[in-house]
Chain A
Amino acid sequence: MARQDTLIFGCSALGHEVAMQLSERGIQVYLYSNNLDEVGGLLAKGLQAAVIDYTDDEKLMGIGIGKWVKTIFCLFSEEPKNLFLTLSARALDPDLKIICVAESIESSERLRAAGATKVIDPYEISGQRVHEMIARPYLVEMLENTVFGKHIDIAEIEIPDSSVLAGMALSDLELNKKYDLIVIGVVDLELSNQLIFTNSGVDHRLDAGDILVVIGGKQEIERLRQGVSAAGEP
Chain B
Amino acid sequence: MSFAQKIIKYCYTLEGSSRYKGLKGGVYNLLQNPRAPIRPYFDIFMILLVLLSVWLLIYEVKHDLGLWGDLIEVGAVTIFIIEYLLRFWLYNDSHKVIIERYERAEFINETFRLGPALYSAVIGKLRYMVQPLAIIDLLAIIPSYRPLRFLRIFLLFRLFKLFRYTRSISEFVKVLSEKRIELVTLFIFMAFITFTAATAIFFFEAEHDGGQIDGFFDSVYWALVTMSTVGYGDITPQTTEGRVISLVLIIAGLGVISFFTSIIVSAFGEKIHEIRAHRVFSEVERKQVDTLVCGFGRVGQVVADRLSEDKRSFVVVDPLEENIRLAKQRGYLAVMGNGEDNSLLVSMGIDTRINRLLCLTGDDVVNVYITLIARQMNPEIEIISRANHRENVNKLYRAGASHCVAPYEVFGLIAAEYAGQPVAFEAVYGLLTRQTSEGIEAVRIKRDSSLAGKQMGEIDFLARKLIPFGIIRDGCCDPEVDNSCFNLNERCFYFNPGERFTLQANDLLVLIGHEYSVIHLRDCLERGEL
Contacts and interface: CB of A to CB of B under 8 A. Distances in A.
Contacts of B496: 176, 180-182, 216
A104 B419 contact: no
Contacts of A14: 408, 411-412
Contact of B405 (A129, A136, A138, A201): A129
B470 A217 contact: no
Interface stretch (A58-66, A81-89, A95-103, A224-232): A95-103
A97 B419 contact: yes
Interface in A139-174: 139, 141-143, 145-148, 151-152, 154-156, 171
Contacts of A49: none
A18 B416 contact: yes
Q: Looking at B303, B358, B406, which has the most chain A CB atoms within 10 Å of its CB?
A: B303
Interface string A201-234: 1000000000101111100000000000000000
A36 interface: no
B185 interface: no
Contacts of A123: 297-299, 302, 407
Contacts of B419: 6, 22, 27, 71, 73, 97, 99
Interface stretch (B158-166, B221-229, B428-436): B428-436
B489 interface: yes
Contacts of A101: 411
Contacts of B441: 139
Contacts of A97: 419, 422
Count chain B CB atoms within 10 A of each CB in A14, A127, A139, A193 and give the residue with the most: A127
Nearest to A22: B416
A72 B123 CA distance: 82
Interface residues on B, range: 35 or more
Contacts of B408: 13-14, 17, 122
Interface string B369-410: 000000000000000101011100000000000010111111
Interface in A23-70: 24-25, 27
A143 B422 CA distance: 19
B306 A131 contact: yes
Contacts of A104: 298
Contact of A122 (B410, B416, B432, B486): B410
Nearest to B360: A130
A138 B472 contact: yes
B465 A156 contact: no
Contacts of A1: none
B2 interface: no
A78 interface: no
Contacts of A152: 495
Interface string B323-352: 000000000000000000000000000000
Contacts of A215: 428, 469
Given A127-B303, A138-B491, A211 B423 contact: yes
A169 B418 CA distance: 28
Interface size class of A (residues with CB under 8 A): 35 or more
Between B416, B461, B486, the greatest number of chain A beta carbons within 10 A of the residue's beta carbon is seen for: B416
A74 B415 CA distance: 11
Nearest to A158: B423
Contact of B423 (A73, A136, A187, A197): A187
Contacts of A141: 488-489, 491
Contacts of B488: 141-142, 145
A214 B406 CA distance: 27
A122 B411 contact: yes
Contacts of A127: 298-303, 305-306, 360
Given A126-B407, A195-B427, 7 more contacts: A125-B414, A136-B442, A145-B493, A151-B486, A156-B423, A182-B469, A213-B423
Interface of A: 6, 13-14, 17-18, 20-22, 24-25, 27, 71, 73, 97, 99, 101, 103-104, 118, 120-136, 138-139, 141-143, 145-148, 151-152, 154-156, 171, 176-177, 180-182, 184-185, 187, 193, 195, 197-201, 211, 213-217
Interface of B: 291, 297-303, 305-307, 310, 312, 356, 358, 360, 384, 386, 388-390, 403, 405-428, 430-433, 438, 440-442, 461-462, 465-467, 469-470, 472, 483-484, 486-489, 491, 493, 495-496, 498-499, 508, 510, 512-514, 517
15 contacts: A14-B412, A18-B412, A21-B416, A25-B416, A27-B420, A71-B419, A127-B360, A130-B303, A131-B307, A132-B433, A134-B384, A145-B487, A195-B423, A213-B424, A216-B495
